[in-house]
Amino acid sequence: MIETNSLTKVFVGKKWKVEALKGVDFKAERGKVTALVGPNGAGKTTLLKIISTLILPTSGSAYVDGYDVVSQPNEVRKRLGLVTVSDRLLYYRLSGVENLLFYGALYDMSIREAKKRAYELLDLVGLKEWADEPTMHYSTGMLRRLAIARSLMHDPDTILLDEPTLGVDVASARKVRQLVRKLSSERTIVLTSHFMHEIEELADFIFVLKSGKIVAKGSPEDIIKMAGMIVEAKLDSNSVTALVERFITKYENGYAVIRGPKSIVEQFSSDFYEIQPSLEDAYIALVGENEQDFRPYQFRRGGAWARERPV
Ligand SMILES: Nc1ncnc2c1ncn2[C@@H]1O[C@H](COP(=O)(O)OP(=O)(O)O)[C@@H](O)[C@H]1O
Ligand SMILES: [Mg+2]
C-alpha cells in the first residue's frame, strides 16, 4: 500500500521556482489499480519519483507498505518497481535477457535465480523469442514491455507505471494493459496515462491531479458522476467561432457536434440533448483541456533544468 500526506515538492533554481506538488494526499491499495491522471505538468511524474525514492519531497510524508521514503529508502526500493517512459535505463547493446540479468545483479540476486526469473518474465511480457536480441533492435512497445519485466525482477509488491503505453503501437498497448491487469491481483499498482479508455478499462480508483493538487478522486463511475450533466448540440458549421471550436467533437453532414458540460454548451445552443458521458468527457469537464499552467522547462547551460517563469 502507498500513502502520502500533505506532500509538497518545490523545484528551485537561482531565478525560478516551480511548485510541482502542493500538498498531495494520495493513497493506493494493494490488489487494485490506482490511476493518476492530469494534464502535462500536473505533477504525476514528480509524485511517482518521490514514492520511488528518486527525489526527496520538500515537505509532507510518503510511505510504501509502512516504510518511509525519506528515512527508509532501501526498504522502499526492495518492495517497489518503477517503469518510466525513459528508455535510458536499458543498455542498447545488451540483449533483453542480459539487461534483466544486469538489473538482477543490482538487486543482489544470484546468477541462477536471476536467469530463471529473467526467462519467466520475458515469457510473461511476450518477449521470449527476442531474449537474445540486442535491445537496439526492439520496437518502442517491446522496450516498454522489457522495462516492465525489468521492474519485476526483484518481485516487488508495488509497481509504478508512468505512461507505459506512450508511443506504443495499438497491439503492444493492448499487451501492456493485459499485463497490468494480470499483475494487479496481489500487488499495488499505480498507473499514469493520458488515454482515458485505458484508465476506464484498468483503474479501480482514480486521482485527478491538476497544477500539483488533487482536484478529484473516486472510482471511474464516481468521477463520471462528478462531472455533472454532459450534453451535445449540433451547430451549423458556418456559425462556428473560435470560442466554440475547442468543444467540437466531430463534423456530421455540415454540422459541428459540440459536447461538454451543460453550462457551457447551452451558451452556444439551446437545442442540446443529454448524453451518457464517458470518462474522457468527465475528465475534460473536470480539468479543462487547456494545459493552462504548463510551460515546458528548458535546458540551460550548466545542466540545470529551468523554466521561463521568474520568481
Ligand atoms: N527537475 C525539475 N526541475 C524543475 N522543474 C521540474 C523538474 N521536474 C519537473 N518539474 C516541473 O514540475 C512540474 C510537474 O512536472 P511533472 O511531475 O513532470 O508533471 P507530469 O508528469 O504530470 O507531466 C512541471 O511544471 C515541471 O516543469
Ligand atoms: Mg510525467
Span 53-106, pLDDT tens digits: 999 999 999 999 999 999 999 999 999 999 988 767 789 999 999 999 999 999
Q: Is any ligand 1 atom within 6 A of the Cβ of residue 210?
A: no
Residue of 46, 48, 283 to mutate, ligand 1, most atoms within 8 A of C-beta? 46
Residue 257 has pLDDT above 80, yes or no: yes
Average pLDDT, the chain: 90
What is the spatial distance between Cα 280 and Cα 200, in angstroms, rounded to a whole number? Answer: 9
Average pLDDT over residues 260-270: 90
Q: Is any ligand 1 atom within 6 A of the Cβ of residue 41?
A: yes
Confidence of residue 285 (pLDDT cuts 50, 70, 90): confident
Per-range mean pLDDT, top range of 40-54, 83-97, 276-290: 40-54
- Distances from the Cα of 65 to the Cα of 72, 129, 181, angstroms: 11, 36, 21
Q: What percent of the chain has pLDDT over 90?
A: 73
pLDDT at 301: 39
DSSP 271: -
pLDDT at 289: 59
What is the spatial distance between Cα 130 and Cα 133, in angstroms, rounded to a whole number? Answer: 5
pLDDT at 152: 94
Among protein residues, the one with the nearest Cα to ligand 1's atom 27 is 297
pLDDT at 239: 78
Q: Is any ligand 1 atom within 6 A of the Cβ of residue 48?
A: no
Residue 290 has pLDDT above 80, yes or no: no
Among protein residues, the one with the nearest Cα to ligand 1's atom 3 is 305
**Sign of the Cα pseudo-torsion (273, 278, 279, 284, in order):** negative
Higher per-residue pLDDT: 230 or 294: 230
Is residue 54 within 8 Å of residue 9, measured between CB atoms? Answer: no
Residues of the chain with CATH 3.40.50.300: 2-79+156-224
Residue 215 has pLDDT above 90, yes or no: yes
Residue 112 has pLDDT above 50, yes or no: yes
Among protein residues, the one with the nearest Cα to ligand 1's atom 12 is 20
What is the spatial distance between Cα 118 and Cα 106, in angstroms, rounded to a whole number? Answer: 14
Question: What CATH number matches the domain at 2-79+156-224, 3.30.200.20, 3.40.50.10540, 3.40.50.300, 3.30.360.10?
Answer: 3.40.50.300
